[in-house]
């Protein structure tokens, strides 16, 4: 391999590793900001006056951990340091970074259409670029991926389709009937993520693109 091509390959890999490290910093800061978003009440008796805010906190914490795992797998299987993938990654990180604020909005205005709507829009905001990144990775037919890795990538795309569909359904229900029923698909999605993963992993792919020659 010519030295110039080798240098370009090493440079791309180095940039990819640095971008992943930068992304991990964003995830770490988002997790640390979650607890700070829980405002300290004036009286100790008010600590448990609103248990919903703790449900939202731990649910959001689990969501950030889940999207970090998805991001890590995406970098392993699908990401290429081209301009569009880099831009999508930054869009993804922007919505992850604002998630603690979205949680605070949801806690402060819990039960309101606007509060939960803001939270849902933020969730869709990082789910959509992740789906596009995974779909682009699947379409590339990377010859360096093993059969097992391509199967993992296909299943990741399918899982993200389900997540995005459930989030959009919640947003549609929010607009039609309000937050009382809009919580249901989102709550099932949050609680049943591991179950969905097992079900999807048990489904054989109908279409698994072959590697490029």
The per-residue pLDDT for range 74-120, each reduced to its tens digit, is 998 889 889 999 999 999 999 999 988 887 887 777 667 888 888 88
- Residue 161: inside a domain, yes or no? yes
- Residue 30: inside a domain, yes or no? yes
Closest residue by Cα to residue 82 from 42, 136, 129 = 136
What does 34-81 look like in DSSP terms, one character per residue?
HHHTSPPPSSGGGTTS-THHHHHHHHHHHHHHHHHHHHHHHHHHT---
Q: Is residue 211 within 8 Å of residue 189, measured between CB atoms?
A: no
Instruction: Give the lowest-confidence range in 38-42, 99-103, 113-117, 209-213.
Output: 209-213
**Which residues contact residue 29 at a Cβ distance below 8 angstroms, ignoring those fewer than 6 apart?**
97
- Residue 44: inside a domain, yes or no? no
Span 183-210, average pLDDT: 59
For residue 8, the model assigns a pLDDT of: 74
- Residue 189: inside a domain, yes or no? yes
Measured CA to CA, the distance from residue 67 to residue 26 in angstroms comes to: 12
Span 124-149, average pLDDT: 87
Is residue 196 scored above 60 in pLDDT? no
For residue 19, the model assigns a pLDDT of: 94
- Residue 166: inside a domain, yes or no? yes
Distances (CA, A) of 213 to 64, 141, 208, 210: 37, 9, 15, 9
Structural domain of 28: 3-38+51-201
Based on the structure, what is the number of domains in the chain?
1
Closest residue by Cα to residue 120 from 164, 67, 84 = 164
As given in the structure block, the two tokens for residue 101 are 């604020």
As given in the structure block, the two tokens for residue 189 are 């999605």
- Residue 45: inside a domain, yes or no? no
Distances (CA, A) of 142 to 74, 76, 85, 206, 207: 13, 12, 15, 19, 15
Span 25-51, average pLDDT: 76
- Residue 213: inside a domain, yes or no? no
Span 107-134, average pLDDT: 85
Question: Using one digit for the tens of pLDDT, what is the confidence trace for 54-69?
Answer: 777 887 888 888 889 8
- Residue 207: inside a domain, yes or no? no
């Amino acid at each position: 391999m010519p030295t110039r091509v080798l240098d370009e390959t090493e440079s791309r890999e180095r940039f990819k590793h640095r971008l992943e490290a930068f992304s991990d910093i964003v995830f770490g800061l988002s997790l640390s900001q979650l607890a700070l978003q829980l405002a300290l009440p004036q009286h100790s008796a008010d600590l448990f006056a609103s248990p919903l805010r703790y449900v939202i906190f731990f649910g959001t914490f689990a969501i950030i951990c889940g999207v970090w795992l998805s991001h890590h797998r995406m970098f392993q299987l699908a990401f290429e340091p081209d301009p569009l993938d880099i831009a999508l990654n930054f869009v993804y990180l922007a919505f992850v970074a604002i998630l603690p604020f979205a949680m605070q909005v949801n806690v402060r205005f819990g039960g309101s259409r606007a509060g939960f709507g803001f939270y849902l829009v933020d969730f869709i905001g990082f789910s959509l670029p992740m789906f596009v990144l995974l779909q682009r990775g699947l379409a590339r037919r990377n010859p360096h991926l093993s059969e097992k890795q391509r199967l993992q990538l296909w299943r990741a795309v399918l899982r993200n389709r389900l997540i995005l569909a459930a989030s959009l359904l919640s947003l549609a229900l929010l607009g039609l009937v309000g937050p009382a029923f809009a919580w249901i698909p989102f709550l099932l999605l949050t609680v049943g993520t591991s179950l969905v993963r097992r079900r999807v992993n048990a489904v054989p792919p109908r279409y698994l693109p072959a590697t490029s020659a």
